[in-house]
Structure 1
Amino acid sequence: MTGAEDEAARWWATAVSHIEPGSIELRDRPVQDLIGSASLVDVIWLLLRGSLPAPRHAALLEAALVAGVDHGPQAPSIAAARMAATCGVGLNNAVATGVNMLGDAHGGAGQQCVEMLTDVTALHAAGHDWDRAAREVMADWQSRSRYLPGFGHRFHPVDPRRGPLLDLVRRAVADGEVGGDFLHAALAVEEVLRRRREGRRPVPMNIDGATAVIYAELGFSAPLARGLFVLSRSVGILAHAWEETGQGRRNKGPLPRGVLPARLPQPEDA
């Protein structure tokens, strides 16, 4: 190997994969040993963490990924992908359009919730009871934003995904598979909100909060909570984009042509 080749090899060195003629290794495991024996969830864990997950950990991760795949065409990421699919950009670009919509306001709450729950668990470890730790962290978050990430939903009085996900975590805690601190932190935040909003519409934990509990209990960092959500939601984005390509529309806009206003508002009308 020449000096330049050696320098290039060091430049691109990675522990994730190693490729040589006739050889593909993922985290030092030959891909042929994984094919047929490891699930996609196993391989996601392997590539991110460097080892294969315990079966119960893999099941928790899979449950979180399944829960987040889709939330209907009104979701901005899916709506954008469906519109892009009618513009002649190709399926891969339609999917990329949807994925690129997953930002702080739409798609980032899971990451933010892991950060918030991490703050709660830190205060609890420092000697606060769960209620006090939750109240102090909530006050700090609400001094910067009117929204608490992972709690409340525009459409669902109670997010139907919350219960099944938390039940899985509870069973994993009872069996000693995960520690449970992040579950306790999330339930403490939820209880504080319940007391504050007594007599008004509740703001229970939503999908972002429930999956944040799982990702944090499994030891994933906050940024990876967003990355894993992107992986999950990309499945729904792909399905919607593919369905839209078969419907024969061109240049689909946000409203059907028949309900567009006859005259668009002018600046002086605003």
Structure 2
Amino acid sequence: MSGTNDVSDWWRTSIIDMEPGRISLRGHAVQDLIGTTGFAEMIWLMVTGDRISGPRAKLFEAALVAAVDHGPQAPSIAAARMAATCGIGLQSAMATGLNMLGDVHGGAGEQAVELYRRIDGAGHDGLVATLDAWRQHHGKFVPGFGHRFHKPVDPRAPRLLALVGEAAGQGAVSGRFAEIGRAIESRLAEERGKPVPMNIDGATAVIYAELGCPAPLARGFFGLSRSVGILAHAWEQTEQGGRNKGPTPPGYRWTYDGG
């Protein structure tokens, strides 16, 4: 690296260009985006570089809305609430919650997109073999299906799938990933002899697959969505007060199994 651009070329981006008095985001003047572009549309533009509109934008926003919160029992929310009682600022409490999102809590959407795409590539007749191969490699849990709390149905999933159906009817998406999701649901129910409902991760993964998102973005978008709930709970806890709140009331103790 040499020459007059050695410093400016150290970071290269097609996201933003600016100079005094001018800001351009993905080639659009910021003043032209303000007041004309919804926040979900702006997220899509910033991350993908493309514009999203109509039924596709409605699907994306629905996925973001659906995953904002799942109560204080969700590790990300609980961590943010505990952090808010420890004397740190609101943004640090949010960061604490976001840092709880990983392969198990928050990663199922990414995994479900990957699974859907494998099944899509294998074709309908390859569903069983692909599902079995996935479980052989990853374990018995199928990402996006089953819920320890919502039985027999996660109330968010049917609504999201209905929106996918509407968008498919308008030609905005193919609808084939929704069919794959339902086929997995049917297969799991057949295997276990009881309903194994698609959950929020499976339903939002259908949307992200239909929209053509790379699998890792499903996790990233989930983090954006859940950050809303994290902020809401961290702020609520800040207003409620409390000091050094742990995961259980102080009267409850842990089990000591040492010598």
- Between the aligned partners of 1:190 and 1:151, the Cα distance in structure 2 is 7
Q: Where does residue 153 of structure 1 map in the other structure? A: 147
2:172 pairs with 1:177: yes
Residue equivalent to 2:247: 254
Q: Distance in 2 between matches of 1:77 and 1:161?
A: 19
Q: TM-score under structure 2 normalisation?
A: 0.95
Matched with 2:57 is 58
* Structure 1 letter corresponding to 2:248: L
Alignment partners' CA distance in 1, 2:126 and 2:179: 11
Task: Please provide the CA RMSD for this pair.
Answer: 1.3
Aligned to 1:187: 182
- 158-167 or 179-188: bigger deviation: 179-188
AA paired with 1:151?
F
Number of aligned residue pairs: 256
Aligned match of 2:207: 214
Q: What is the rounded CA distance, in whole Å, between the counterparts of 1:207 and 1:74 in structure 2? A: 16
Q: In the alignment, which residue of structure 2 is the partner of 1:226?
A: 219
Distance in 2 of aligned mates of 1:61 and 1:78: 23
1:165 partner SS: helix
Deviations 1:128-161 (Å, cap 9, x if unpaired)? xx2x322111101111211000000000111000
TM-superposed CA distance for 1:90, in Å, is 0.7
Tell me which residue corresponds to 2:256: 265
CA-CA distance at 1:52 after TM superposition: 1.5
- The match for 2:163 is 168
Gaps of 5+ in 1: 125-129
Is 2:89 the partner of 1:90?
Answer: yes
Question: Residue 18 of structure 1: SS of its match in structure 2?
Answer: strand
> What is the CA-CA distance between 1:5 and the residue it aligns to?
5.2
Matched-pair identity in %: 55
CA 1:117 to 1:266, structure 2 compared with 1: closer, same or farther past 3 Å? closer
Using the alignment, how far apart are the partners of 2:4 and 2:160 within structure 1?
Answer: 49
Q: 1:258, CA displacement in angstroms?
A: 2.6
Residue type at the aligned position of 2:131: M
Q: What does 1:62-141 align with in structure 2 at a 5 Å threshold?
A: 62-124=61-123, 130=124, 132-141=125-134
Please give the alpha-carbon distance, in whole angstroms, between the structure 2 residues aligned to 1:37 and 1:187.
Answer: 36
SS in 2 for 1:234: helix
Distance in structure 2 (CA, Å) of the matches to 1:8 and 1:184: 50
Letter in 1 for 2:243: R
Question: What is the CA–CA distance in structure 2 between the aligned matches of 1:246 and 1:153, rounded to whole Å?
Answer: 31
Match of 1:239 in 2: 232
TM-superposed CA distance for 1:259, in Å, is 2.8
Q: What one-letter code is carried by the residue in structure 1 that aligns with 2:228?
A: V
Partner AA of 2:77 in structure 1: I
Deviation at 1:4, TM superposition (A): 6.0
Report runs of 4+ in structure 1 exceeding 6 Å deviation: none
- For 1:66-114, what per-residue CA distance to the aligned partner results, in whole angstroms no more than 9, with x for missing partners? 0000000000000000001111121111000000100000000000000
